[in-house]
Homo-oligomer: A and B are copies of this chain.
């Protein structure tokens, strides 16, 4: 399962980076916990992390179904593409919320390919 593990690692390292950015942005923009609003630039950084949580709960089970029941290397490659799509989403969203679309769409598409492929693979196993 080396490729699936590597894809999991890369996705979670990207996520940890988005998380650390929120902590820094709290100090930079003076948004004290428990507040999560008050500055549009902070809110963009916060939403990148939140949206990545929303996507990880779909992606990680789908990745592992595909890795276990279809192909470890293909799961790994699609999973690394997912991380790439997330980094694209984040860097675009940090710059301008209107530019977050392509990265967001690619993220969901890859997760659905992994989910449908992994489920089909498990049922035909």
Contact = CB atoms under 8 A, between A and B. Distances in A.
Contacts of A16: 58, 108, 112
Interface of A: 1-2, 5-6, 8-9, 12-13, 15-16, 19, 32-37, 40, 43-44, 46-47, 49-50, 53-54, 56-58, 60-62, 65, 69, 93, 97, 100, 108, 112, 115, 118-119, 122-123, 125
B57 A2 contact: no
B12 A62 contact: yes
A47 B22 CA distance: 14
Nearest to A23: B104
A117 to B, nearest CB: 11
Contacts of A49: 54
Contact of A6 (B9, B37, B123): B123
Contact of A34 (B19, B58, B97, B119): B97
A79 to B, nearest CB: 12
Contact of A100 (B33, B44, B58, B123): B33
